[in-house]
Amino acid sequence: MATGTRYPIVLPNTVRDLLEKTARSRTVSARERRNARILLLRADGVSYADCRRRVGCSRDAVCTVCRKFHQGGWEAVCRELPRGKPWSYPEADRQAVIAWAQTLPQSLGLPITRWSLSWLQRYWRRRKGTKPPARSCLRNWLKDAGIDWFRERKWCRSNDPDWLAKATAVCNAYLRADPDTAVLCYDQKPHLQALDRRNPLDPPIPGYPGRRDHDYIRRGVTCLHALLDVRTGRCRHACRDDHTAKTIAALVARWVRDRPEAKVLLICDNLSANHAPPVTAALQRAGKQVEVLRIPTYSSWLNQAERVFADFQRELLDRAVAVSVEDLRRQVRHWFAARNAVAQPFDWTYEPGLD
């Protein structure tokens, strides 16, 4: 309790716990954290002068917080009084900021490649010579205009001269293949690292996300091979030490040989090992009519096996902890078994020439 003052501060245990939590919180405003610190210091008997120096505010601010708390408690301290009509800017100023955000900064003579609210304020000072709007004001202007100045979307154009023909063949296999023809997508995910953590992973708790240690220990690598049945959504897989043509030939030929259909459409990317002579010879000996459809360059998204790998990366690999390569392979087998138990085919709708 702060004695000898006009507004003595007495904190019950429940209020003290709330103020201590508020003073440490990162989700409340800076004003609330400051006010909580002032009340805690005054309750511990710290003088007005020391409290002002330790918190970094004026003596009047300390007195105001103590007076509000003495009159109405913590709720009165948090209650904001009306401050009059907010400052408004001409429409021309708002349109100028929106126009700047839609212009590459370097074309305006700035040494940056992307905008930030701070750089918009700096450019305002350079162009107008006046105090710029607050960051929150700039953020609201850009948000209302539908401009995401902090984001960008990347794109990549294929340099394959036969892109349309190859993409059409792949999409026709997905959408119009004969019912008695197997449509399979093959791909590999090489160099999966078995990473062990020095500290265990922490699950998320209320108010805090899950955590993991930055440090890790490499326990080895393995290569994942997968063959997706487009019609059923089920996926066969195998982990091997490499992804050479010899390994691919043995795996793909066995998987194709196990199919009941007489004709197989095999979709794969342009990795040289996928089309090496050992793979071609093994498919010819498989006893099936196999037609290999190549994915165009820079168009791996046409391979539905990549969609399986995306789920695999997000659901297992990103947070996997493996004490050995065999432990990682066991987790991979478990993931594919769980996926195949509820597998559904992807709802493919894309066709070249319709976008």
- What are the tens digits of pLDDT across the range 19-60? 999 998 888 888 889 999 999 998 888 888 888 888 888 888
Pairing state between β 216-229 and 263-268: unpaired
Q: Which residues contact 297 (CB under 8 A, 6 or more apart)?
A: 158, 159, 160, 163, 270
CA distance 133 to 96: 12
Q: Give me the chain's average pLDDT, please.
A: 91
- Going 206 to 207 to 209 to 213, the CA torsion angle's sign is negative
Query: Among the CATH numbers 3.40.50.620, 3.40.50.2000, 3.65.10.10, 3.30.420.10, which is that of 163-341?
Result: 3.30.420.10
Q: Sheet holding 216-229: strands in order across?
A: 235-240, 216-229, 181-197, 263-268, 289-294
Task: Read off the pLDDT band of 235 (50, 70, 90).
Answer: very high
pLDDT for the residue numbered 353: 74
CA distance 259 to 263: 9
Q: Which residues contact 61 (CB under 8 A, 6 or more apart)?
A: 38, 52
* Token pair belonging to 286: 């498989």
Q: Is 147 helix (H, G, I), strand (E, B) or coil?
A: coil
Task: Read off the pLDDT band of 83 (50, 70, 90).
Answer: low
Domain positions in the chain are 13-78, 91-144, 163-341
The angle subtended at Cα 101 by Cα 95 and Cα 104, nearest 5°, is 130
Q: Where are the beta strands (DSSP E) in the chain?
A: 181-197, 216-229, 235-240, 263-268, 289-294
**Stretch 160-170: mean pLDDT, rounded?**
93
Which has the higher per-residue pLDDT, 67 or 340? Answer: 340
State pTM to two decimals.
0.68
User: Is pLDDT at 86 greater than 70 in this prediction?
Assistant: no
pLDDT for the residue numbered 1: 47
